[in-house]
Chain A
């Protein structure tokens, strides 16, 4: 379904027309957080609110946050699941630091989230769940709804469960079944509050419950009841309008997209653009499994997905498929990369194209499976035996995962090398509006397979030498089994430059190690662009991957506060852009925010002898723009001091 944003129709109310007398306030942006028990359907509620918001034309950014347990004990703090969405009439970069509105479905949800709220925030609580027992379970001795603990906020007590059950009394559902629709009641109420369109959600529910029309109707009824409740109750006197973010979006057709979905689409697109069948070898692991699920749906694109017995077999099968001429991919998270290391080394030695997608999560070991982190950079860079360089590409936003996948495929196919694509849990599950690319804009990734012998010996006999390289790219020829006359053997043992025969010759090994490194070092990547509006900044902030949104938001705040700061963001971590050293050298002060303990900073310092300062956070959550901005302002001040010292 397509709607036009340039002239947004007033969202059709499912019930009666808006009552006169309710005040409408215009806002430029809002942050809403839905929080409840794992079983309360908060992710779905957030997703639907996001879809409505996207189709309305706001810019948006989301942060789902859920426990690693599938069903943690009900009503407990570890069982709380939340979904935050930030939407605005202008372009925004992060899911927001502090929610303006919290929907708390139970005491645990309130307790777990209230500390994040600014004074004056709205809290909608489901009072039905605030029983003595439920409150005691999370350590509330007295009711926070009554003891003044929430004085700083604007609390709306709503008996969500009771009202949902009441609304559904004619459906003949059990109480338990009826209660399940309370998330739709909440969604209806919020949709009313923010003038969200509703048709999409009703259509979604009808499709989702196509086989159980009665449940579809029950959910729609609960959804409408929530809307109507807002409309009629005295407790909600104000509704809010956040206008579409027209100026934020270049013309085009848009959809909302999560990082994992964009990444999966990028892989399908790469396979189409390369005219090679896509093969995915994978073993399920959070937060990467969604890509396996998604690609499994697209067999009609010739996509083969193989759920292997472990991650070693996943990448092994992918490498076998690459040998046979597929665009081969393996998807995983940090622990899986550890298992794949030996095979990645083999791929480096075989010089076959292979994409290794690492959706990073909190580590070490099992760590924080459902939370985000950027701590696999050095694993991707160095985590193998021997000198085994692998190019690294990192997307910066959910939508960018699409382009990054195409870019990684380009490098793999052009240079015949494994390539790391480093996404993370925040990009994977977060979403944003995405301009749907025109197929005609996509890069041409077609490859030339070897078809004829490439070497003539002294006696004039023709041979195929699998390691005779392209002088420009240093890529070796890709000769597929089935090609007559090019029969050859490759392996992980060191091979002779050119012929590829086993060679233990010291000088040859030295040459091969250096050549493999030179090939990766020589990969063409775009120059880094430094955003330095005045050209007078003394401080540069540089990041990589998913910190793009928070860093950019923090840079804006810093500049608004009068601080001069330059910003650069790396997509290519190996090789680095050719102009990176020179760009870094232009600044007195370089600061590197990362969701690890300073891995990029380490690489930059080692490579460019630059006194880069680290700013790190490993909470499993993205940076908050406000905190980051404070650190950047400090850095700007340091930059000025250093400059003064230098001038003196």
Chain B
């Protein structure tokens, strides 16, 4: 699968290191912000792709997370709130020799930019979208976001927020995404492995990264990070492996025969054979969607992480390039003089 996604992108001449990907700009997130860990993971992982640095582009919207491109020694654009997927779509469809990454926040991607996000996913443009989800508006100093839990007390919701949150993974699956994954800022190894698979994916890859905003929503993911609680609350998905979690894999996911839905059970000798085996490449998104719904929207208890879905389908930019080639094949290369003249002309002689 990896060949296609990166095959058109020129390779670096020399071996690269993390340092090569650091720009000369001082990083200005709050000390302790989860964004630092994600930046380090990305800078640490890119050398292994071995792509020519000049052929990598990071495009972001607006938000704390969207400052990301300034810190990458690649090409980059810090654009406007919510529009990065649209801008990146124009770049990726015209330049298949580039590896185009979008960096966005939960407000940027799911509130103001929700429309662009779902359409990018539906089109399957060759983009890697990193959605930094801190369940809060960081840059505007702490209003609730479309991923905040109901009842969240913030400056704009002193009596608690009223609206139900999006589950970004469920949303992406519903938007026909061909690659959907979730990971956590503090788990460098997991984050890197997810990035690796996203980079190799031909088409749009959406990676939701839980990111701690220690200023306005500190500890939002502690339950998933704390070694003791994580055992119970986090479900690590691995393609081809039975979905088990808890102390010594005491719990597992099975399909309810009556409803077809997924549910969590204590694993016993009797039901061990029924434990669902994760298939990220399943043609239908149904099971991936059901997995995404295991998480409690308030507490994030039973949150699946890892690659939920990774399937192949036609990539928009390739399809567009094919149409251009087909047009040349059918009509010949465009002849401007013939185009301007058209079919009905008359001549005026002097």
Cβ-based interface call for B88 (8 A): yes
Knowing A255-B344, A324-B94, say if A268 contacts B334 (CB, 8 Å): yes
B54 touches A481 (CB 8 A): yes
Our pick among B76, B92, B326, B332 for the contact of A489 (Cβ within 8 Å) is: B76
B119 touches A313 (CB 8 A): yes
Knowing A4-B349, A491-B78, say if A317 contacts B86 (CB, 8 Å): yes
Q: Inside 8 A of B348's CB, which chain A residues have their CB?
A: 5-6, 57, 246, 249-254
Cβ-based interface call for B314 (8 A): no
Shortest distance from the beta carbon of B110 to any chain A beta carbon, whole Å:
15
CA distance A281 to B10 in the complex (A): 27
B78 touches A490 (CB 8 A): yes
Closest residue to B118 on the A side, CB-wise?
A309
Q: Inside 8 A of A6's CB, which chain B residues have their CB?
A: 347-349
Cβ-based interface call for A636 (8 A): no
Q: How large is the interface on A (under 10, 10 to 19, 20 to 34, 35 or more residues)?
A: 35 or more
Cβ-based interface call for B286 (8 A): no
Interface residues of B in 314-339 (CB under 8 A from A): 320, 323-324, 326-328, 330-334, 336-337, 339
Q: How large is the interface on B (under 10, 10 to 19, 20 to 34, 35 or more residues)?
A: 35 or more
Q: Inside 8 A of A92's CB, which chain B residues have their CB?
A: none
Shortest distance from the beta carbon of A58 to any chain B beta carbon, whole Å:
10
CA distance A350 to B343 in the complex (A): 42
Interface residues of A in 26-56 (CB under 8 A from B): 51, 54-55
Q: Inside 8 A of B97's CB, which chain A residues have their CB?
A: 482
CA distance A36 to B342 in the complex (A): 29
B53 touches A487 (CB 8 A): yes
A487 touches B74 (CB 8 A): yes
Cβ-based interface call for A522 (8 A): no
Cβ-based interface call for A143 (8 A): no
Cβ-based interface call for B69 (8 A): yes
Shortest distance from the beta carbon of A15 to any chain B beta carbon, whole Å:
23
Cβ-based interface call for B70 (8 A): yes
CA distance A57 to B344 in the complex (A): 12
Q: Inside 8 A of A484's CB, which chain B residues have their CB?
A: 52-54
Shortest distance from the beta carbon of B13 to any chain A beta carbon, whole Å:
9
Shortest distance from the beta carbon of A492 to any chain B beta carbon, whole Å:
6
Among B25, B57, B332, B333, which residue has the most Cβ atoms of chain A within 10 A?
B57
Looking at A64-72, A293-301, A530-538, the stretch in contact with chain B turns out to be: A293-301
CA distance A483 to B83 in the complex (A): 25
Known: A484-B54, A502-B25. 7 other contacts (CB 8 A): A298-B327, A299-B323, A299-B324, A300-B324, A302-B324, A308-B86, A489-B23
Residue pairs across A and B with Cβ atoms less than 8 A apart, 14 shown, are: A272-B334, A299-B327, A300-B334, A304-B320, A306-B89, A313-B116, A317-B86, A320-B90, A326-B94, A328-B90, A482-B97, A491-B77, A491-B78, A493-B78
Which 6 A-B pairs have CB atoms at the shortest separation, nearest pair first? A320-B90, A491-B78, A316-B86, A317-B90, A301-B334, A299-B327
Which B positions have Cβ atoms within 8 angstroms of A? 10, 23, 25, 52-55, 57, 59, 62, 69-70, 72-80, 83, 86-95, 97-98, 115-116, 119, 320, 323-324, 326-328, 330-334, 336-337, 339-350
